Homo-oligomer: A and B are copies of this chain.
Amino acid sequence: MRRYLPILEWGRHYDRLSLLSDLLAAVIVTIMLIPQSLAYALLAGLPPEIGLYASIAPLLAYALFGTSRVLAVGPVAVVSLMTAAAVAPLAAQGSAEYLGAAIVLAALSGLILLAMGLLRLGWIANFISHPVMAGFITASALLIAAGQVPTLLGLQARGETLPSLFMALLPKLESARLDVLALGLAVTGFLFWARKGVQPLLRSFGMRPELAAAAGRAAPLLAVAASILLVRLTDLAPPLVGEIPRGLPLPALPSLDPALWQALLVPAALIALVGYVESVSVAQTLAARRRQRIAPDQELVALGAANLSSAFTGGFPVTGGFARSVVNADAGATTPAAGAFTALGMVMASFWLTPLLADLPKATLAATIIVAVLALVDLRALPRMLAYSRADGGAMAATIAATLLLGVETGITAGVVLSIFLHLWRSSRPHMAVIGQVPGTEHFRNVERHHVVTAPDVLSIRVDESLYFPNVRFLEDRLLIALAEKPGLAHVVLDCAAVNVIDASAVETLEQLMSRLDEAGVALHLSEVKGPVMDRLQRSSFLQHLTGRIFLTQFDAMMALAPDLTAGCRAADRCETARRRG
């Protein structure tokens, strides 16, 4: 029970001190979340109030089920972009169908996360490698920022890819409004400055550091308030957010149209995976700082519940956001109750702030989005990855290119498929070395790299990888080549020091190989076989058919098969015996 409801754990020890800390953190996060929630709803192509709705129930659900003390769940930029990409092909923006599809998307990704959590399938997310995730986040952030350019110009143009966005914007450029652009750039400049400049400024006025930090988080809300005042007090008439319904929606069941569910299945799975990877990474970073830990499988359950609750209260897909969670942690949140209080703050905002927001310029929200997402862009990672390995750098470059040019769904899918393909390719050709004895020692090293001696009728080969179906044929080819090229061969010794697993394909291939070698008069021996591997070999017929022997060490093997050679090592017990493999 406690595994699935962590609140039972931390709730027992909840005291006044925790309450105060959590309340303070909740106030600061709420101030930050109000403009973000509106902005990310617009980014997803939804009415702004949907952002508020998606910032209430999911926070409560996460407070019940989540294992991170400080994760702040809600609408985030990349998931909002993915929502827009998933829903846009199915319905016209602004229509009831569009909203309905976004709600189904939240329900479906919630169910997928929940199922992954209950079936303990969190490991699937490991297959989104770092280079792919980093490339995807960078490219998504660039797409999002580019997508705000039309709004900054007072125009309406959307596109799921850079080229389509450009083509949509181009014909409208002549009606761009410079006054709106001036407003947007001013807000953008202010917010960029505020990220670094507010705190020192306030502190130089004598404000307490914690208070100055909290005030710094209010910069976007301040920009929102100032923009509304500007619109009300001057003649400036930029495109506005417009009337926002006051209060909260009634809970409702998402649409159960099977065709819609089917159309959204793959996007929902991608959103679930990407959201989970982002969220868990944030939660782990913040938990480790306090020597706490999170339970990744339970996080799936919690994020699933958050998304389901979002769907039932008219919201769209949510996940744990990086910036918000860091602020929550820095502001002193000690339990998930801080999230629940934030939800309370958002409820109040839905009742009392919504009437004020009608005059909010969309360009102001676009500016907050741009400033938020440009922090996610990390193009310098690409040359770093390429320098480290071509496979990793290539996967990252492919993900960035595919995301920018073909859209988010194709981008992340291409990245994951390519990295798994490269992984399989790499594991299909393990490093192998023909080894020989370092004269006068019990060491055996790669004949191509070291000065070693070998016996003409013995081939010793070391495989630096477990033997399983993707790579065992590679070993087979290698040995058959040796068999054809070395006419005097009588013994093959397989040094298994680095072999952690031998699967059924490998055992069968080794047996076949053994009988082929046998027909050619060559015996197959094994050395340095690990305990668990040996246990398993004993369950197959391999050892009964073994034409050679099992040697405890490679040196034992050479002593038995090529005594002349090992005689150079005067006495086994006086040899330096520490064996290192490289």
Can you tell how many copies of this chain the complex includes?
2
- B389 A289 Cβ-Cβ under 8 A: no
CB distance from A397 to the nearest CB of B (A): 12
Chain B CB within 8 A of A410 CB? no
A13 within 8 A of B: no
Does A500 reach chain B (CB closer than 8 Å)?
yes
For the complex, give the distance between the alpha carbons of A129 and B471 in Å: 10
Query: With an 8 A cutoff between CB atoms, is A505 at the interface?
Result: yes
| C-alpha gap A409/B423 in the complex (Å) | 25
| Contact (Cβ within 8 A) A129 B469 | yes
Please tell me which one of the listed residues B127, B293, B536 contacts residue A388 in the complex, with CB atoms under 8 A apart: B536
Are B289 and A516 neighbours in the complex by a CB distance under 8 Å?
Answer: yes
| Complex contacts, A21 vs chain B, CB 8 Å | none
CB atoms of A285 and B516 under 8 A apart? yes
Contact partner, A423, options B419, B425, B469, B530, Cβ 8 Å:
B469
| In the bound complex, CA of A391 to CA of B469 (Å) | 12
Closest B residue, CB atoms, query A387: B539
User: Is A196 an interface residue when CB atoms closer than 8 A count as contact?
Assistant: no
Which partner residue on chain B sits nearest A552 by CB separation?
B580
Q: Within A474-515, which residues are at the interface with B (CB < 8 Å)?
A: 474, 476-477, 480-481, 483-484, 487, 497-498, 500-501, 503-505, 507-509, 512
Q: Are B507 and A388 in contact (CB under 8 A)?
A: yes
The answer on a CB contact under 8 Å between A500 and B464 is yes
Complex CA gap A427/B465 in Å reads 12
The reply to whether B123 and A474 form a contact with Cβ atoms under 8 Å apart is yes
Question: Does chain B have a CB within 8 A of A434?
Answer: no
User: Which chain B residues lie closer than 8 Å to A388 at the CB level?
Assistant: 504, 507, 536, 539-540
Q: Answer yes or no: A171 CB below 8 A from chain B CBs.
A: no
A534 CB → nearest B CB, Å: 9
Partner among B419, B477, B503 whose Cβ is within 8 Å of the Cβ of A296: B477
Known: A388-B507, A388-B536, A388-B539. A480 touches B287 (CB 8 A): yes
Task: Determine which of B387, B428, B481, B578 lies in contact with A553 in the assembled complex, contact meaning CB atoms within 8 Å.
Answer: B578
Q: How far is the CB of A90 from chain B (nearest CB, A)?
A: 26
Q: Which residue from chain B places its CB closest to the CB of A466 in the assembled complex?
A: B465
Question: Which residue of chain B is the closest to A531 with respect to CB atoms?
Answer: B582
A232 within 8 A of B: no
Q: Which of A550-581 contact B (CB under 8 A)?
A: 553, 576-581
Measured CB to CB, the nearest residue on chain B to A393 is B504
A402-429, CB < 8 A from B: 419-420, 423-429
Contact check, B127 vs A483: say whether CB atoms are below 8 A apart: no
Q: Which of B384, B419, B469, B484 contacts A291 (CB 8 A)?
A: B484
Q: Which residue of B lies closest to A428 (CB)?
A: B123
Give min CB distance, A126 to chain B, whole Å: 5
Interchain CA distance A289-B384 in the complex, whole Å: 50
- Residues of B close to A472: CB separation below 8 A: 126
Could you tell me if A582 and B530 are in contact, using CB atoms closer than 8 angstroms?
yes
Sample 6 A-B pairs with CB under 8 A, ordered by A number: A129-B468, A131-B505, A388-B507, A423-B469, A430-B500, A464-B500
* 20 further contact pairs, Cβ within 8 A, besides A129-B468, A289-B516, A384-B541: A123-B425, A123-B474, A125-B473, A126-B469, A126-B471, A126-B472, A128-B469, A129-B469, A129-B503, A130-B508, A131-B504, A288-B520, A289-B519, A291-B484, A293-B483, A388-B536, A388-B540, A389-B503, A423-B469, A465-B500
Top 9 A-B pairs, shortest CB-CB distance: A288-B516, A392-B504, A129-B469, A130-B505, A531-B582, A293-B484, A577-B578, A129-B505, A123-B428
